[in-house]
Amino acid sequence: MRERLSGNEAAAIAMKQINPDVVAAFPITPSTEIPQYFSTFVSNGTVDTEFVAVESEHSAMSACIGAQAAGGRAMTATSANGLSLMWEMIYIASSLRLPIVMSLVNRAVSGPLNIHNDHSDAMGVRDSGWIMTFSENNQEAYDNLVMAHRIAEHKDVLLPLMVCQDGFITSHSIENIELIEDEKVKEFVGKYKPEHYLLNDKEPIAIGPLDLQAYLFEHKTQQAIAMRNAKKVILDVAKDFEKMTGRSYGFFEEYKMEDAEVVIVCMNSTAGTAKYTADRMREQSVKAGVLKIRVFRPFPAEEVAKALAKAKAIAVLDKADSLNAAGGALFEDVTSGMFVNKIQVPTVNYVYGIGGRDTTSKEIESIYQDLLEIVKTGEIGNPYRYLGVRGCE
Amino acid sequence: MAYNHKQVMVDRPSRLTSGHRMCAGCGAPAVARMILRAVKPEDHVVVSNATGCMEVSTFLYPYTSWTDSYIHTAFENAAATLSGVEAAYKAMKATGKLPEDKDTKFIAFGGDGGTYDIGLQSLSGAMERGHDMVYVCYDNGAYMNTGIQRSSATPKFADTTTTPAGTKVPGKMQPRKDLTKIMVGHHLPYVAQTIALNNFKDLYEKSEKAIYTEGACFLNVLAPCPRGWGYNTEDLMQINKLAVETCYWPLYEVIDGKYVVNYKPAKKLPIEEFLRPQKRFKHMFKPGNEWMIQEFQEEVDARWQELLDLEEITNK
């Protein structure tokens, strides 16, 4: 079914088709439209969902935890400070092994206050035990949500999952999109059948103990194992999804990577600009490529390293600054993966687009030019670079 | 149904089993046991518990004292968590995912820290949204789990570890928040203030009403703490009695906005009777500090009179 939808509408329609038992959400720009659209579905009876219009994001995640632990499917949507306020509950959701699904519309975390896109919200929860997928465009934001429950609820995984998309850039842009029929989504997502749940009066359970030195380490390790298990499940679900739609998804997308010498690694909507620029570079006989990360948690370290093995210079783009004097989160993950897998390619980091600063194809081209210079001279210089900002030497 | 203590104790075994690690002389477990006894034996319960003494003492992995389903997630969100459980229950009942002939009741327990203070927003939200649940605050008047720090429920002049009675500042300098009235301001179908007293009749009957009144209901239960208050463990019931007889903790309920004061002492005892057995008020009895007792008495009197006035006004 071809449609023209914004990223937020696409996410809301995926949620409608999934028809969860509970949606608990609190408005925050730029994800507000998702609970708004969804409330309309509730008011008009097109879903069976109980919509809980909570008084804060902390309560949104708390209610999702309660609902999922009760034995239902729970979903939410948020951005930036909303996710920050949820932070405590984000860790608790994953530690309780509750496959809650969230639509995260990425926006800069305060402060100062800014409502536009970067990835500082997502990076704040990168070690929380949530599966995290990123979406280049509205189609991917939709597709990633349709695949989410199959991954999160798999018995070898049982972890919450967030689908990220760029605030305003995709959330508010209307694009052509291919929707899947309601019945097909329903069948693909399947019924939620938790093994243990609060509302099963035949088997009362207690959830969320005081868990001290004797057991906590084992319980956290089980989360780590589940995250490793998620890698296979993500690919298996993607295969089934491809059978249904013809759209193919891996951990990442390799764009013109077969012979690429200068490569940009990035996430979300910037990949579109990077691909466009790579095409322009190739017109100038530059062997440019793009590696777009779709699955950020679990991080496919070995697969990314192997995909980058043949490059001559790499730029990793971070749309969030770790403020650590040692590069952004994606840069650290990519270079660590390469090092461990004994792949030595000159690699630099660019922090870019903070607070919604526009990133143009011209700027992306300047990165490719920098990479060509590195290839030519063999000198990396400063690996911790910034793109499109004043006052940074 | 008339309340018969012996019969209730025989017919309804405790749903919070023994073996938990709450202190001897603590008011909270007795309160929790009695509230759960007010649930019909055939009904299932999901308990939501805020972080606090009760949580860390009753569910230390891999042991639990709760025979019903139980969830603890964090300190400030017992109400929000339970609102999610209740919402899932509604949705799952409506779509036939749960048996039709089986009822589940939703009860949250939080201390005064998790209720008056850090959890007030979550509580207010859940109550305003009208989830079919009972929120029980077991009020012991300070953050006891972390070592007796003041809360907004701590009475004026009390000696706590963050309001120590010193030479310049004689304990906590602010009067305590009246949470029960704040909850009345939410226009709930049932709000009550109670305590474990006289064979638990008041507590039991109010619990039963709260649990079986549809919508969001609130119970505020004074639950003394021997560590924080400094009384002998065997004196728990005596302390409860004095709290009521001095009108420090009046027993009342507000049903659809109408106040009912359940007990009016024929002869109100002076507040010293309640204060004297507690170490946290010891400094108030030093020579020269008579003004503190007088001020405390005046506040108790004013609040009691206000309550009587509210009863009169709302029943006109």
| CATH code, domain carrying B30 | 3.40.50.970
Q: Which residues, other chains included, contact B192 with Cβ-Cβ below 8 Å and sequence gap of 6+?
A: B180, B206, B209, B210, B218, B219, B220, B252, B253, B254
Residue B135 contacts A where some CB pair is shorter than 8 Å: no
The SS3 assignment for A116 reads: coil
* Two tokens, residue A355: 């607070």
Q: For tokens 């999610």, name the residue.
A: B84
* Two tokens, residue A108: 């800069």
Residue A393 pLDDT > 90 = no
The shortest C-alpha distance from B202 to chain A (Å) reads 29
> Between residues 12 and 31 of chain B, which touch chain A (CB distance below 8 Å)?
none
Domain boundaries defined on chain A: 2-245, 252-386
Class of domain A252-386: alpha beta
Residues of chain B neighbouring A42 (CB-CB closer than 8 A): none
State mean pLDDT over A166-183: 98
The DSSP code for A364 is: H
Residue A161 pLDDT > 70 = yes
pLDDT in tens, B32-44: 999 999 999 999 9
Residues in chain B where the model's pLDDT stays below 50:
none
Residue B82 contacts A where some CB pair is shorter than 8 Å: yes
Query: Which is nearest to A12 in space by CA: A169, A201, A204, A165?
Result: A165
State mean pLDDT over A290-294: 98
Q: Which residues, other chains included, contact A284 with Cβ-Cβ below 8 Å and sequence gap of 6+?
A: none
Query: How sure is the predictor about A103, in pLDDT bands with cuts at 50, 70 and 90?
Result: very high
B87 vs A52, A209, A210: nearest CB? A52
Range of the domain at B57: 5-314
Mutation target to probe the B interface, by most B beta carbons within 10 A, among A18, A21, A23 is A21
A89 vs B46, B55, B73: nearest CB? B73
Residue A54 pLDDT > 90 = yes
Other Cβ atoms within 10 Å of A378 Cβ, number: 9
Q: How many angstroms separate the Cα of A103 from the Cα of each of A25, A113, A233, A371?
A: 11, 21, 20, 35
Burial of A4 (0-12, 13-18, 19+ CB in 10 A): exposed
Total residue length of chain A: 393
According to the model, what pLDDT value does residue B198 have?
86
B91 vs A50, A59, A206: nearest CB? A50
According to the model, what pLDDT value does residue B2 have?
84
Q: Do B81 and A62 touch (CB under 8 A)?
A: yes
According to the model, what pLDDT value does residue B1 have?
60
ipTM over 0.95: yes
The total domain count for chain B is 1
CATH of A2-245, one of 3.40.1350.10, 3.90.1150.10, 3.10.620.30, 3.40.50.970: 3.40.50.970
Question: Is-contact A188 A145, C-beta < 8 A?
Answer: no
Tell me how far apart the alpha carbons of residues A102 and A112 are, in angstroms, rounded to a whole number: 25
- Does the pTM surpass 0.80? The reply is yes
Query: How sure is the predictor about A358, in pLDDT bands with cuts at 50, 70 and 90?
Result: very high
pLDDT in tens, B186-218: 999 999 999 999 899 999 999 999 999 999 999
Cα-based torsion angle of the residue sequence A90, A94, A95, A99 in order, rounded to the nearest 10 degrees: 130
Strands (DSSP E) contained in B51-125 are 69-72, 104-111
Tell me how far apart the alpha carbons of residues A222 and A226 are, in angstroms, rounded to a whole number: 6
